[in-house]
């Protein structure tokens, strides 16, 4: 928990942080602090860079062209999120941004847009997704920023997949008990039951969610051909793409991640 | 699962449904079928009324002033959602609509806007929330529409609470190990651990989430004074109000609800 500090503005900044360092703040950061939050010179903010933990800093100068802060003290040691990747088919802008924002809050370490057969979304603006990821990290008290990958095709993702990394495959509306997939059991398990079978320690995981139209039968077969793929269901209703991503990450964090350390 | 029918348009309509019945469709339903989905007379749609299950119907007439369909056959028996209420402090319009849409998909039976001390949102438009709930139910394959209540103040909610109904209280950023609340243990448990202690059968539950500013200490004390209140945490990061609602409902459905019957 960020505890009592959670109302103090937090900014991500990619520079070394230690007490007495002077920090240059960008035009947009100063705009945010001055015009949105109405802070004045002398106010305290919190800074983090993804590596060194969290630091308090005083606002020294605030001008239209940028400003300066001075680091005063370390407020928190670095904590990192579990090795949890969200691989997701991009959807239209609104739900796409919901996916990225919520995934960061729930606590992923990596976001990977995956192009599938039925992906039917505008070209992914990776810079925009990175900006949303940073804002979400600032807001939720994280001390790291998840990596946002360039989009990759599903077959490329599977071909280069590290064998020991598990992939929880959310096959919304795709469960067919009469079909076999690559010789493996056809029926997907409820996600929480599937996750309970795994150990909490030394894990490397990803969650895969599809586009609004779901995966094609060929994709579902190709996915289930891999021993690292764990097909799961997310209840009896058809979840939208963004809901499925949020729900699957929540269940992983609660069952195997950092949600039961608090 | 709605199975192969999940791509056929589904409409909620509050009239009796049985084969051979003629159904009057509204101006907005015809607009949706004709101008959004580009359906023509003779096309098949699915209808449900929250009571009788799901029925196939043929579009007989589509005019600007409305239209008609004829019920052909029953396609699914009625299934109902668990007795799960979401009591939530209203937030601004975007995340408020996300909460309602996602709660319906995840599978709540009742939505109750709750006014808390720090609730800082525009007046709740209950009719608008009902419309969103119906659209989400149509989309996700549900056969019922959750009830959307008029807003109620938190103290009124607690005073009239049925004693046997459990309330999972999501106290984001409110966990304080050094404080006691009404003589009960101060520290909230991780949500999944807390839920595991309960039996799946014959349950009546609600989830309570707060506004962006959280609950006040007085509210947190008042809540914890009640034996039906189960305070829980949702991980080490501070979730936004909409993320907290989605995550809490997901965990309840996976642990105690209908997500492990598929």
Query: Which of B186, B185, B249 is closest to B217 using CA atoms?
Result: B186
Residue A35 burial class via C-beta count within 10 angstroms: exposed 0-12, middle 13-18, buried 19 and up:
exposed
Question: CB of B205 within 8 A of CB of B84?
Answer: yes
The verdict on a CB contact (< 8 Å) between A255 and B141 is no
A-chain residues near B3 (CB < 8 A): 173
Query: Which of A92, A114, A95, A101 is closest to A169 using CA atoms?
Result: A114
> How confident is the model over A217-237, as pLDDT tens digits?
999 999 999 999 999 999 999
pLDDT of residue A2: 35
Consecutive H or E run containing A171: none
The verdict on a CB contact (< 8 Å) between A235 and B107 is yes
Q: Is domain A84-260 classified as CATH 3.40.1280.10?
A: yes
Q: Helices marked H in chain B — which ranges?
A: 27-31, 93-106, 126-140, 154-159, 191-196, 217-224, 241-256
Consecutive H or E run containing A156: helix A154-159
What is the CA angle B52-B55-B61, rounded to 5?
Answer: 125
> How confident is the model over A65-95, as pLDDT tens digits?
999 999 999 999 999 999 999 999 999 999 9
Give the percent of chain A with pLDDT over 70: 91
Out of A142, A175, A247, whose CB is closest to B237? Answer: A142
How far apart (Å, rounded) are the C-alpha atoms in residues A67 and A86?
Answer: 36
Residue B106 burial class via C-beta count within 10 angstroms: exposed 0-12, middle 13-18, buried 19 and up:
buried
Other C-beta atoms within 10 Å of B64: how many?
A: 9
Residue A238 three-state SS:
coil
Question: CB of B47 within 8 A of CB of B39?
Answer: no
Which structure tokens are listed for A251?
């269940």
Residue A246 three-state SS:
helix
CA distance to partner chain A, nearest, from residue B161 (Å): 28
* pLDDT greater than 90 at residue B178: no
Domain assignments of chain A as residue spans, ordered by start:
3-76, 84-260
> How confident is the model over A114-166, as pLDDT tens digits?
999 999 988 999 999 999 999 999 999 999 999 999 999 999 999 999 989 99
Band the pLDDT of A179: cuts 50, 70, 90: low
Q: Give chain B's mean pLDDT.
A: 91
Complex-level ipTM:
0.93
CA distance to partner chain A, nearest, from residue B65 (Å): 32
> How confident is the model over B1-42, as pLDDT tens digits?
334 445 789 999 999 999 999 999 999 999 999 999 999 999
Query: Which of A174, A158, A171 is closest to A226 using CA atoms?
Result: A158
Cβ of residue B102 closer than 8 Å to a chain A Cβ? yes
The verdict on a CB contact (< 8 Å) between B259 and A233 is yes
Could you say which architecture CATH assigns to the domain A3-76? Beta Barrel (2.40)
The verdict on a CB contact (< 8 Å) between A246 and B251 is no
Largest Cα separation within chain A, whole Å, is 68
Question: CB of B182 within 8 A of CB of B225?
Answer: yes
Helices A241-256 and B241-256: crossing angle, nearest 10°?
A: 70
DSSP string, B134-186: HHHHHHHT-SS--EEPPPEEHHHHHHT--TTSEEEEE-TT---TT--BTTB--
The verdict on a CB contact (< 8 Å) between B250 and A253 is no
Question: CB of A207 within 8 A of CB of A86?
Answer: yes
């Amino acid at each position: 928990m960020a505890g009592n500090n959670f109302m103090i503005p937090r900014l991500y900044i990619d520079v070394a942080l230690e007490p007495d360092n002077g920090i240059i703040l960008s035009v947009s950061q100063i705009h945010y602090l001055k015009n949105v939050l109405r802070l004045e010179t002398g106010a305290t903010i919190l800074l983090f860079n993804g590596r060194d933990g969290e630091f308090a800093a005083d606002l020294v100068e605030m001008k239209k062209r940028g400003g300066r802060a001075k680091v005063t003290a370390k407020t928190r040691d670095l904590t990192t999120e579990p090795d949890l990747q969200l691989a997701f088919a991009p959807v239209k802008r609104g739900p796409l941004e919901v996916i990225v924002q919520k995934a960061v809050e729930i606590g992923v370490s990596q976001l990977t847009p995956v192009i599938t057969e039925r992906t039917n979304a505008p070209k992914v603006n990776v810079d925009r997704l990175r900006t949303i990821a940073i804002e979400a990290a600032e807001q939720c008290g994280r001390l790291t920023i998840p990596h946002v990958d360039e989009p990759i095709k599903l077959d490329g993702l599977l071909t280069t997949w590290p064998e020991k990394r598990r992939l929880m495959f959310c096959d919304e509306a795709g469960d067919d008990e009469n079909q076999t997939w690559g010789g493996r059991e056809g029926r997907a398990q409820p996600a929480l039951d599937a996750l309970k079978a795994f150990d909490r320690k030394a894990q490397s995981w990803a969650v895969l969610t599809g586009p609004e139209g779901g995966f094609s039968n060929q994709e579902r077969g190709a996915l289930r051909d891999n021993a690292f793929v764990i097909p799961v269901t997310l209840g009896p209703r058809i979840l939208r793409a963004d809901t499925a991503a949020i729900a699957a990450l929540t269940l992983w964090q609660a069952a195997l991640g950092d949600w039961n350390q608090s």
